[in-house]
Structure 1
Amino acid sequence: MEPLEKSPDAFRTISEAADELDLPQHVLRFWETRFSQIKPLKRGGGRRYYRPDDVQLLRGIRYLLYDEGFTIKGVQKILKENGARHVITIGETGAIEPVVPVGGNGDNDVIEAPQLAAPDAQTQQSGKIDTYSRARLNEALHELLECKRILDKATEEPLN
């Protein structure tokens, strides 16, 4: 006898959510500590129940981390700038749609983008860079600067 399939509107236990997302349960628990938007209901004994939107948010986070190569900080930034609904949409569609470009000093100005790779038609026409691409470039720059700092520190220390 096959197990009954749950309604799409039904809550999921952590094991059901983990199976649906093809993730270990401990990853879901860890993500709760890193993404404040993940808030499963907790019942007696701390048992977690994920709403359908929770599972979709987890799917979007999983896509950004595993398929798109974002770091946790990068996904936190996307959640902060664009909200959970944006990441849920990413989880549903598997596609990251460009959002309103923002400038480097927090206002709504756009920044000019150097042509690093074959840009899409919209970028070719406007010469601007979308928030998603900008976040990825800023993340890469941050990681490169951290590598430089580590290398500089290593070369300053005398060899024994």
Structure 2
Amino acid sequence: MSVAKSAEAFRTISEAAKELDVPQHVLRHWEEVFGQVRPMRRAGGRRYYRPLDIDLLRGIRTLLYDQRFTTKGVQKIFKDEGVKYVSELGRRAAAGEVTDVRPVLDDEDAAKSADGKAPSEKVKENGDGVLELMPAAVVQPPGVLNPAMRKNLTTLLRRLETVQNALDQAILALEAINPEDDER
């Protein structure tokens, strides 16, 4: 029977991988791809992950696996928001808090979309143009849409339908110009 480690204890790569539910080679890969991941190393090169390292790795995991960001997207978040931001995301994920860092259209952008103009991509900002995690109170439970989100999605659906119609017309026009050779 083994005794559980305290939250402040360092973790080996196998313990970290088990806690984060990812293979060890993924942690090594993240160390190469994200220079911000720097576990402590002892003689022989054995890695030891501090609690802050685990929060950072959990934040990366959340962005890649839950939020579906690409590696480049996560690198951009590191560049724009910093290590503390990603670590805080990991800490919130460990606490079971709902986090959503995807861009959100504000009311001004939604109004522009309704007018048929291309909306500028904006994120939920803190006043300084910095991406913020949405507080848990703002995030709706799965399957529930708030009125603003429903309006944004309806507008987006209309725009996508317009684009689909334009593509269908373009295909018909191309087929009229270059009819397929049925005579072969």
The secondary structure found in structure 2 opposite 1:58 is: helix
Pairs within 5 Å for 1:28-39? 28-39=27-38
**CA gap 1:5/1:45 in 2 versus in 1, 3 angstroms:** same
Residue of structure 2 in register with 1:50 after alignment: 49
**CA gap 1:98/1:23 in 2 versus in 1, 3 angstroms:** closer
Residue of structure 2 in register with 1:26 after alignment: 25
**CA gap 1:128/1:45 in 2 versus in 1, 3 angstroms:** closer
**CA gap 1:98/1:69 in 2 versus in 1, 3 angstroms:** closer
Of all paired residues, the percent bearing the same amino acid is 52
RMSD: 2.8
* TM-score between both structures, scaled by the size of structure 2: 0.54
Larger RCO (CA within 8 A; separation ≥ 6): 1
Distance 1:82 1:36 in 2: 15
Pairs within 5 Å for 1:2-81? 2-81=1-80
Matched letter for residue 129 of structure 1: K
Distance 1:5 1:43 in 2: 22
Residue of structure 1 in register with 2:123 after alignment: 130
Distance 2:85 2:33 in 1: 18
> 1:90 touches 1:96 (CA, 8 Å); kept in 2?
no
Matched letter for residue 4 of structure 1: V
> 2:12 touches 2:48 (CA, 8 Å); kept in 1?
yes
Matched letter for residue 58 of structure 2: R
Superposed CA deviations along residues 102-121 of structure 1, whole A, max 9, x for unmatched, are xxxxxxxxx957549xxxxx
Larger Rg: 2
* Unaligned stretches of 5+ residues in structure 1: 100-110, 117-126, 134-160
Distance 1:79 1:96 in 2: 16
Distance 2:18 2:101 in 1: 27
* TM-score between both structures, scaled by the size of structure 1: 0.62
The secondary structure found in structure 1 opposite 2:76 is: helix
Residue of structure 2 in register with 1:90 after alignment: 89
> 1:8 touches 1:52 (CA, 8 Å); kept in 2?
yes
The secondary structure found in structure 1 opposite 2:48 is: strand
**CA gap 1:78/1:46 in 2 versus in 1, 3 angstroms:** same
* Unaligned stretches of 5+ residues in structure 2: 94-98, 115-119, 125-130, 133-184
> 1:11 touches 1:50 (CA, 8 Å); kept in 2?
yes
Aligned length: 111
The secondary structure found in structure 2 opposite 1:57 is: helix
